[in-house]
Structure formats: C-alpha cells, structure tokens
Amino acid sequence: MVGYRSAMAGTVLCLVVSSSMLVMMVAAAAASARPPAMFVFGDSTLDVGNNNYLPGPGVPRANRPFYGIDFPGAVATGRFSNGYNIADYLAKSMGFPCSPPPYLSLAQNTGRLVRAAIGGGVSYASGGAGILDSTNAGNNIPLSKQLEYFKSTKSQMVAKLGSRAANLLLAKSVFLFSVGSNDLFVFAVAEQKQNKSSADQQRDAGALYASLVSGYSAAVQELHALGARKLAVINVGLLGCVPTARLNDAAGACSDALNQLASGFDDALASMLAGIASRLRRPGFAYSLADYYGLSAATFDDPRAVGYTDIAGACCGGGRLGAEAPCLPNATVCANRDQHAFWDAVHPSQRGAMLTAQNFYDSRPGRYTAPINFKQLAQTSL
C-alpha cells in the first residue's frame, strides 16, 4: 500500500526570496530566454490545488487517494491526476522548476503572493470552473473571479515593484488558459433532460457559443488591459470520448453529439482569438491556440502509437468503464497507469498530460498549434 499525504496544509513555493531580491529578479527574468512568470486560468485540467481551499461539500477536490499516487512523495496535491497535470509539464518545458502555486494558498499572505508572482507566477485555475458564472455555481472559482484574483495580484505587485517593473514582467510572461469544457458539459446534460428537437438544440448551441465567446473575449481583453501580452490557449478536447460520456452508449462508443458541441465551440474560439489579435496587434499581443481536440482525435485513431492500451476506461474508479464510481480511497486502480489515456472518469492520466504538453510546446506550428507553438510564444519579443 502506498503511503499518502495531503497538500491541504500549504503549498511549498519553488522559489523563496527576500523582498530585497524582487527587483533584481524582475531584471534578470527580463534578460532571460525563459518567461519571468506563467499565470494560469481555467478548470481542473490545470488546477494545482485551489479547490482544496474552497468550502462546501459540492466542491470537486482531488486531495485524497488515489489522486497523486505517482506524484513525488505520493502526495494528493489537489491535481486531478495520478501525478502531474498539463500545467506542470508546460511550466517545466518553459524552464520553470515547477508549476505556479495555487492563488488561494497565498492569498492571506501578501508577501508570499508577490514572491510567487515574480518568482514564477500564480495559478487561478479551479476544478469545475467555467466561462459562465452559472456553471457549477458555488463550487469553484469561475473565470470572472479568477480575473478578479489576478487583478488583486497585480495591485500587490505594483505596490512592491512599481508600475513600470510590474508591467514589464507581465508583458514578458505567459498567460495560460484552458476553460470551456464544464460549460459544454452542463449545457449538454440540461439539453438531454429536456428532450429537445434537433433544431431547438442547434439554436440553443448557437446562443451558448455566443455567450461563451463573449465571456472569453472580455476576459482576454481585460487581461490585456492589465498588461498581459502573450496568451497560450488550449481549446476543448473530445468531450464525447471521456469515460463518463461513453457510459451513455451500450458499446462504450464516443458521444458524437458532445464532440460536435465541442468542435463548434473550438471553431468560435479560433475566430475570436484571430479577431482580437488583429485589433490588438499594434499595442502588442501574441497568442498560440493549441488544438486539444485534434490531438485527442489523432491519439484515439492510433492509440498504440503512443503506448496506450486503454483509451475508453478510467484507471481509477469503479463499475463500467471505471466511470460509474468516483476515484476514492476505496476505488479500483489500474496497475498500468501509463498505458491509460484517462486517470478518472473525465481527466487525462499523468502520461496523457505529458504527451499533451510536449505536443503543444514544440510541435510543428500548424499541426496542433497555430499560428505559433507555445515555445515560440514564450520566446516572442513584443
């Protein structure tokens, strides 16, 4: 039996520095090829522990076994993974010693918050979060609140460093986004319960896309106004192929309807980003859009090419496809975790996160990223 520890007691920062070193760190980061910081926004695919600090029985948490079984020290950190997640691997690829810590682990200590922001960034991502405030309301940090937390972070940075130094750091930092999946899941479940016609569903989906794009666009433009210049965005993957969605088919096949819903949103997201980039090019703006949908489709078409033997079931869970019961301390856990695409009923395994980050970071632009990859974005000078 593997021994487990919970990370609720506090998050260890990668870098611990004194106040006198802060300005020196900003200058050094500005001269380095590595971005000075990475600020993370989104849902459970990127959450590194914020939900550990949220009250309420309905909050999704991953601070218990068997989450973290492959994390160093077998710590259940709050990541919805058997180990590291996509944010972790992207951070390491960009040269950071580890992923930015969760905001809520720092919020009560201004000094620690500023040191983290300057030393490598902060994560605001929250499991269950959506673009819309109404998505899983009360049980996560919605995107709008994540933006409020970042605004507060910047205010503290400005108070410590001054406006010029803070803005210089933010302009060279990477802002990572992965959000939208939960909005689509909630919508799909509601539509299914109402048994609507195909025409009504298409009309409703169009209205949903408009609402999501409006919220996403407002968030991006607000961040730009606050000093963000480099945006790394991950679109929505094959939602209809996660284990919990496959339960709706007797043979365990993917849900075409849910995949089509995700594809439609991804098209709208791509158009939105291109439009924002054209408007903000003169004041300075660069982005990379990662195609999680396309990468997932290619992986599922030939799973053995990347070493997967199971792309349908959850490694940790119970019942059919391992998706009828949650990943709890009494769950069944597979032994060959690196051969599973999914860790639990909806989240990728640690290896899945690693492969995803690798493809988004330095694969040929145009394959799974556009117009540039994440590595090129991180190294872009504006």
Residues designated as active site: 44, 344, 347
CA distances from 249 to 88, 121, 267 (A): 33, 42, 26
What residues contact 79, with CB distance under 8 A and at least 6 apart?
47, 48, 49, 62, 67, 68, 71, 85, 88
What residues contact 139, with CB distance under 8 A and at least 6 apart?
54, 56, 58, 59, 60, 128
DSSP 7-69: STT----S----GGGHHHHHHHHHHSSS-S-EEEEESTTT-SSGGGG--STTS----STTTTT
Inter-helix orientation angle 163-172/143-161, to 10°: 130
d(CA 184, CA 182): 5
d(CA 367, CA 349): 22
Q: Which amino acid makes up residue 319?
A: G
d(CA 219, CA 238): 24
The candidate with the shortest Cα–Cα distance to 290, out of 236, 329, 337, is 236
